[in-house]
Amino acid sequence: MKKTFICVFAVLALAIMLAGCANTQNTPTKPLTSFNMQITSPAFQNNGKIPSRYTCDGKNISPPLIISGVPENAQSLALISDDPDAPVGLWVHWIMWNIDPKTTEIKENSVPEGAVQGVTSFGDAKYGGPCPPSGTHRYFFKLYALDTKLDLPKTADKNALEAAMKNHILAKAEIIGLYR
């Protein structure tokens, strides 16, 4: 009885593995790996305080960002900056796509040539700095390496961007800034 159970189990396991392999042509799998891709900022450290210059209390301009380790096969980059601690729920501060994958720096208060900014929670297609009503909030700057360029209108929001990126993400990196 034990031998029969073991044999049936082994046959079922083999059948499941073969069924999974048979479908690889129709369902591409792209593992999300870091490829050592990084996003940093000379203005603040990861989990460090964002200077007020980049917030509603200052000039409300985008901070400088440094990009490295982008996979060689990336066709474009996308950036999402949001605040999960907002009282009304996730607040989107900046989205951008079709950034040239050779970009190594997004300068302060600038958008790389050819990149497209989308609509944020402020209702504008531009950077909107941290402006928490109370307490310390976390601001995520998430960078994605994609295997394609995206065909999205400038009126696209974060949901549309994430839907377009689905199944095209090669790598992801992030830096978190804090502001009170």
- What pLDDT shows up at residue 151? 97
Residue closest to 98 by CA, chosen among 77, 119, 112? 77
Amino acid 86: pLDDT: 95
Residue 80 CA from chain centroid, whole number: 5
Asked whether 160 and 151 are in contact (CB, 8 A), the reply is: no
**Quick check: 48 and 67 in contact, CB under 8 A?**
no
Digitized pLDDT (tens) for each residue of the chain, 180 residues in all: 444 433 433 433 333 333 444 333 333 334 344 469 999 999 999 999 999 999 999 999 999 999 999 999 999 999 999 999 999 999 999 999 999 999 999 999 999 999 999 999 999 999 999 999 999 999 999 999 999 999 999 999 999 999 999 999 999 999 999 999
How would you classify residue 69: left for phi > 0, otherwise alpha for psi between -120 and 50, otherwise beta? left
DSSP annotation of 34 reads -
3.30.70.890, 1.20.1560.10, 2.60.40.10, 3.90.280.10: CATH of 30-179: 3.90.280.10
**Calpha distance 68→133 (Å, rounded):** 34
pLDDT for res 12 = 39
- Residue 35: the pLDDT is 62
3-class state of residue 47 by DSSP: coil
Q: Which residues contact 111 (CB under 8 A, 6 or more apart)?
A: 96, 117
pTM (2 decimals)?
A: 0.81
Q: What is the DSSP string of 55-117?
A: STTTT--PPPEEEE---TT--EEEEEEEETT-TTS-EEEEEEEEE-TT--EE-TT---TT-EE
